[in-house]
Structure 1
Amino acid sequence: MKNWIIVGATSAIAEAVGRIWAAKGYKLFLVGRDETKLNSIKADLNVRGADSVNAHLMDVNDFDRHSHCLDSAKAAMGRIDGILIAHGTLPDQKACEASFPLALKEIETNALSVISLCTLAANMFEEQRRGEIAVISSVAGDRGRQSNYVYGAAKGMVSTFLQGLRNRLAKSGVHVTTIKPGFVDTPMTSAIEKGGPLWASAEQVAEGINKAIEKQSNVVYLPFFWWSIMAIIKSIPEFLFKKLSL
């Protein structure tokens, strides 16, 4: 049995991961800001076999509450084996181009709040010399594209931070997994036209996350074929890339 914190527990991918872990009998500590949905998921995961489920209300942009959140999780579960950070927003790129305060808000949500939580979790796990940190980043962070470079910049910051954190914590027995999904059919992508072989369901991505954590993968693209897609995109010379409408 393992004890995991799930931050952003009301997101479609996190909820699907929670169902997998509930079936395994894990203790879960769910963190989110929608009390009604959080309690609904808590009840569902209890029915699905979780050893125990606690719900904790928190806005991730309230950085001063991050430490209290981890302390509450430890008090509720006795120990913490891992943390999955799964929250995020998909910003309106054009609106962010017109407003730096809006761009900053999106970067705070998608990058700085993640870095804050990872810093606290890393220090806690480093002290106990064990633990897992798994974070949902995105393929969007692999290269800046005109269609979503504010979101991509935030995710690129997260991925680079996790790379350094993984290097730092390896000698302490703490593992860090960077998760890079491609197109996922969730409420967050509701404004995007869906369909075709590049799209995956939240359940498919959740299965990939569970396997990646079990294998202690360093970086995982989900579905797997996004690794080759992004390798091609990253290889395009800049003088050609800037002429493309990506």
Structure 2
Amino acid sequence: MSNAVLILGATSGMARAVARSFAKEGHAIQLAARRPEGLDEDAADLRTRFGVEVTIHAFDALATDTHAAFIEGLPELPEIAVCAVGAMGEQDDSAEDPEKAAFVLRSNFEGPASVLAHLANAMDARGSGTLVGISSVAGDRGRASNYVYGSAKAGFTAFLSGLRNRLASKNVHVVTVLPGFVRTAMTDGMDLPGPLTADPEEVGTAILRAVQRQKNIIYTRPIWRVVMAVIRNIPEPIFKKTSL
């Protein structure tokens, strides 16, 4: 059986941390990104530090018509696939420019859902596998500050839930990851609250453990489960007056 882990969107800080977490456990790593030339140093580091096989692959999440061929072109169908694809964008830009909004929606929902759907079918046919989708707490309730990004993540979360339900009897597990704030290039410059903010390595370790323990939905920091439960349950007349 394959022990390979496919990392989609492998140039992000979280994706790199995920790759290190699984490589440390002895997994072969398949790194995939739109700019694969940026992965050479990462691949060399993983090989040197952990002694695992690492391959690099070109992958464009928005070129959905290429996803089937991308999977067929991998050295082997991975046992685990982690989708770290996403783009936050700027809410003001998305509100004013439909094309920029469409890019955020496609980057966070359409592209990730497409490639995971192809992987799900392949793993279903094989009879084993684990799919991990990194979504966001922003999808738990639409807020004025990031509702385009949040709505895309809400769709992705719902997709992962349905996929998990569909594959529950097929020996293919689906994990939904809701990291909350993470110190990465995406959040650079933001004033992040310490107790709610994780480092990429913390996310990588959490994902590894979630896969090993067959978890369904994880918040990287448990406090987010409480925070989002409160936000989801604020009555709409009151919520409309907030500036979250």
Give the TM-score taking structure 1 as reference length: 0.95
Which position in structure 1 is the counterpart of 2:163? 165
Which position in structure 2 is the counterpart of 1:217? 215
Residue from 181, 184, 191 that aligns with 2:182: 184
Q: Deviations over 1:34-74 (max 9, x none)?
A: 2332111111111122431000112211112211221122x
Distance of 1:109 and 1:57 partners within structure 2: 16
Q: Deviations over 1:121-157 (max 9, x none)?
A: 1111111111100010000000000000000000000
Q: How far is 1:120 from its partner?
A: 0.2
Structure 1 window deviating more from structure 2 (193-202 vs 47-56): it is 193-202
The answer as to whether partners of 2:134 and 2:179 remain within 8 angstroms in 1 is yes
Q: How far is 1:191 from its partner?
A: 3.5
Which position in structure 2 is the counterpart of 1:63? 64
- Which amino acid is the alignment partner of residue 203 of structure 1? E
Distance of 2:51 and 2:131 partners within structure 1: 20
Structure 1 window deviating more from structure 2 (110-119 vs 34-43): it is 34-43
- Which amino acid is the alignment partner of residue 140 of structure 2? D
Which position in structure 2 is the counterpart of 1:45? 46
The answer as to whether partners of 1:208 and 1:223 remain within 8 angstroms in 2 is no
Does the residue aligned with 2:175 lie in a helix, a strand or coil?
A: strand
Does the residue aligned with 2:82 lie in a helix, a strand or coil?
A: strand
The answer as to whether partners of 1:24 and 1:50 remain within 8 angstroms in 2 is no
Which position in structure 2 is the counterpart of 1:29? 30
- Which amino acid is the alignment partner of residue 52 of structure 1? E
Unpaired runs of 5+ residues, structure 1, are none
The answer as to whether partners of 1:111 and 1:158 remain within 8 angstroms in 2 is yes
Which position in structure 2 is the counterpart of 1:101? 99
Distance of 1:61 and 1:40 partners within structure 2: 25
Which position in structure 2 is the counterpart of 1:13? 14
The answer as to whether partners of 2:7 and 2:15 remain within 8 angstroms in 1 is yes
Q: Map of 1:131-146 to 2, 5 A cutoff?
A: 131-146=129-144
Q: Size of the alignment, in residue pairs?
A: 243
Over the aligned positions, Cα root-mean-square deviation in angstroms equals: 1.2
Distance of 1:192 and 1:50 partners within structure 2: 36
- Which amino acid is the alignment partner of residue 186 of structure 2? M
- Which amino acid is the alignment partner of residue 67 of structure 2? H
Does the residue aligned with 1:217 lie in a helix, a strand or coil?
A: coil
Which position in structure 2 is the counterpart of 1:147? 145
Structure 1 window deviating more from structure 2 (137-146 vs 205-214): it is 205-214
- Which amino acid is the alignment partner of residue 23 of structure 2? A
Q: Deviations over 1:65-108 (max 9, x none)?
A: 211221122xx1x3421110011111100011001111011101
- Which amino acid is the alignment partner of residue 10 of structure 1? T
Structure 1 window deviating more from structure 2 (174-183 vs 61-70): it is 61-70
Distance of 2:181 and 2:57 partners within structure 1: 29
Which position in structure 1 is the counterpart of 2:234? 236
The answer as to whether partners of 1:90 and 1:189 remain within 8 angstroms in 2 is no
Which position in structure 2 is the counterpart of 1:198? 196
The answer as to whether partners of 2:83 and 2:134 remain within 8 angstroms in 1 is yes
The answer as to whether partners of 1:129 and 1:173 remain within 8 angstroms in 2 is yes
Which position in structure 2 is the counterpart of 1:245? 243
- Which amino acid is the alignment partner of residue 235 of structure 2? P
* 43 and 143 in structure 1: CA distance in 2 versus 1, 3 angstrom threshold: same
Does the residue aligned with 1:48 lie in a helix, a strand or coil?
A: helix
The answer as to whether partners of 1:17 and 1:207 remain within 8 angstroms in 2 is yes
Does the residue aligned with 1:192 lie in a helix, a strand or coil?
A: coil
